[in-house]
């Protein structure tokens, strides 16, 4: 049965978890993080739209596509509180510098950033900026929305498919059973964005799946599951893969 108030509260929580945007006050009792997973991809609609507005606003002011691309990435990082960027950096530091499972988890929990994390952020953001800047008139809105929604749907899928590596933290709190039916809102959002892009979106989904699978495979091998940092890495790497494929096929 559809319960609008309950689902609205779950969407509010997803917006609170994945962005720094005001989302109102949650009702009592508040929904759990696991119940809010279905709305992760929908949050991407907001983030992607703001990124598109930043790039096209810059172009309207006469700035170059590259400046617009970096402004778009900056706005999206600001809106999300750089949550996923932090996850990618911690993931890279842990997987790159950890001796064993315990050491990897210790490094990933450390708030300091190391050389692997810095390099990961530089490379990923530079590739994303280059992809967005390759559209002379700015990346279409559908590109921003597709990459933002599909990459966050990938986070939800990782929560569904991977065990939690820690007994606490976001990876544990947001994990939970519930089958696949709860994924349909995110899949619908991604599907509508993909329809506007045609065949390129299908190829991009393949690239995103490969990037997410590689990140998940390394995490399973090193720490036995997912954490909030692993989810952040999945989002950033799959987002990057989508932009690269779409830039190659659409510009």
Asked if 125 and 142 count as a contact pair (C-beta separation under 8 A), the reply is no
Please state the domain extents for the chain: 40-174+181-250
Q: How confident is the model at residue 19 (pLDDT cuts 50, 70, 90)?
A: very high
Q: Is the pLDDT of residue 171 over 70?
A: no
* pTM assigned to the model: 0.93
If DSSP codes are grouped into helix, strand and coil, which group holds residue 33?
coil
What is the average per-residue pLDDT within 211-227?
Answer: 96
The residue with tokens 């190659």 is: 248
Q: Is the pLDDT of residue 182 over 90?
A: no
Q: How confident is the model at residue 160 (pLDDT cuts 50, 70, 90)?
A: confident
Q: Which residue has the higher pLDDT, 217 or 164?
A: 217
Q: Which backbone phi and psi does 34 adopt, to 5 degrees?
A: -60, -35
Region of 225 (left: φ > 0; alpha: ψ -120 to 50; beta: rest) is: left
Helical residues (DSSP H) of the chain, grouped into ranges: 4-18, 40-60, 65-79, 83-97, 101-109, 115-133, 141-161, 170-173, 184-195, 199-223, 228-250
What is the average per-residue pLDDT within 51-73?
Answer: 97
Sign of CA dihedral 242, 245, 250, 251: positive
Determine the pLDDT at residue 125. Answer: 98
150 closest CA partner among 181, 88, 194:
194
The residue with tokens 């309950």 is: 6
Q: What separation in angstroms does the CA of 52 have from each of 15, 26, 123, 133, 153?
A: 19, 29, 21, 12, 19
Per-residue tokens: 43:
């949050």
What is the average per-residue pLDDT within 125-149?
Answer: 97
Of 91-95, 107-111, 243-247, the range with the lowest mean pLDDT is 107-111
Please give the full DSSP string across 82-149, using - where no structure is assigned: THHHHHHHHHHHHHHH-SSHHHHHHHHH-SS--HHHHHHHHHHHHHHHHHHHTSTT---HHHHHHHHH
Determine the pLDDT at residue 1. Answer: 44
């Amino acid at each position: 049965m559809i319960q609008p108030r309950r689902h609205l509260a779950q969407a509010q929580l997803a917006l609170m978890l994945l962005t720094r945007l005001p989302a109102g006050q949650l009702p009592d009792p508040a929904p759990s993080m696991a119940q809010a997973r279905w709305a992760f991809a929908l949050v991407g609609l907001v983030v992607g739209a703001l990124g598109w507005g930043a790039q096209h606003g810059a172009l309207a002011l006469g700035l170059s596509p590259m400046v617009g691309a970096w402004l778009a990435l900056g706005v999206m990082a600001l809106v999300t509180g750089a949550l996923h960027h932090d996850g990618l950096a911690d993931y890279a530091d842990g997987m790159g510098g950890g001796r064993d499972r315990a050491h990897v988890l210790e490094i990933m929990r450390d708030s300091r950033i190391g050389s692997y994390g810095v390099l990961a952020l530089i490379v990923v953001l530079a590739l994303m900026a280059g992809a967005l800047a390759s559209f002379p008139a700015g990346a279409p809105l559908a590109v921003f929305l597709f990459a933002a929604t599909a990459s966050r749907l990938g986070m939800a899928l990782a929560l569904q498919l991977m065990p939690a590596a820690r007994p606490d933290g976001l990876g544990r709190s947001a994990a939970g059973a519930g089958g696949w039916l709860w994924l349909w809102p995110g899949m619908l959002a991604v599907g509508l964005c993909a329809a506007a892009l045609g065949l390129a979106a299908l190829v991009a989904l393949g690239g995103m799946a490969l990037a997410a699978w590689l990140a998940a495979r390394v995490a399973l091998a090193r720490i036995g599951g997912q954490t909030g940092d692993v989810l952040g890495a999945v989002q950033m790497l799959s987002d990057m893969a989508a932009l690269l494929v779409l830039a190659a096929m659409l510009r």
